[in-house]
Amino acid sequence: MSRKYKTSYKRILLKLSGESLSGENESGIDVNILTYLTEEIKKVYELGIDIGVVIGGGNIYRGLSAQQQGIDNVTGDYMGMLATIINSLALQNSLEKSGIPTRLLSAIDMNKIAEPFIRRRAMRHFEKKRIVIFGAGTGNPYFTTDTAGVLRALEICADVILKGTRVNGVYDSDPEKNKNARMYRKLTFKEALEKNLKVMDMTAFALCRENNLPIIVFNMNKRNNLRNIMLGENIGTIIKN
């Protein structure tokens, strides 16, 4: 695929929350949201950029909810990993219906529906211009999908990890509760730690910091935001050394 535009990145890891797939519903998958995400990802794919995707499972099942129901932490986390596979399959189906080749790689062996995660295999899929979706988190309990996203980003040598949210970036307080919250355009990892900003969970954040992997937090619900970031526009908050 030829590059018609000069882009800021050649390979990205897009991290989406499971809750983003539920739209206005309390849980489950909203087909309209799925279609919207597919359209936004396709715009970036058509720029010739390699795309890896990690999706959470919170719209279907959350480990925290499991504890409240009397399910032990490890079992609840594994249930959450399976929820990410459901979301990954839904996105894969939607992308392929739009004509984009994809592969779903799972950290937990389930050969009937996904390939096992093997780094060399993932890299080969990028060479063949496929979008690679990484499911089942890290395959281990006690690790979030934020950590899975950063881990996969490092393994595939992504230039940046993009965390799609429903707010415009990182703020000094919750913008959904405080209308006077101030958004940061740029932060260093050190500043984010000192200000106690909740960018990602600490394990994921530490991995980014130690490996100098930039994070961009942006509003995924605004049309063309993802594409415009690829084209060099200053959108969201970037955190880097």
* Of 35, 3, 125, 143, the residue nearest 84 (C-alpha): 143
Q: What is the pLDDT of residues 213-227, one digit of tens each?
A: 999 999 999 999 999
User: Is residue 4 in a domain?
Assistant: no
* Number of other residues whose CB lies within 10 A of the CB of residue 109: 12
200 neighbors 150 (Cβ within 8 angstroms): yes
- Three-state DSSP at 217 gives strand
Task: Give pLDDT, residue 63.
Answer: 55
- Residue 155 burial class via C-beta count within 10 angstroms: exposed 0-12, middle 13-18, buried 19 and up: middle
Q: What is the pLDDT of residues 160-213, one digit of tens each?
A: 999 999 999 999 998 889 989 999 999 999 999 999 998 999 999 999 999 999
User: Is residue 5 in a domain?
Assistant: no
CATH number, domain at 208?
Answer: 3.40.1160.10
User: Is residue 81 in a domain?
Assistant: yes
User: Is residue 2 in a domain?
Assistant: no
Beta strands in 81-214 (DSSP E): 102-106, 115-116, 131-135, 160-165, 170-171, 183-184, 186-187
Q: What is the pLDDT of residues 16-28, one digit of tens each?
A: 999 999 888 888 9
pTM over 0.85: yes
Instruction: Tell me which residue range forms the domain holding 76.
Output: 11-239
User: Is residue 106 in a domain?
Assistant: yes
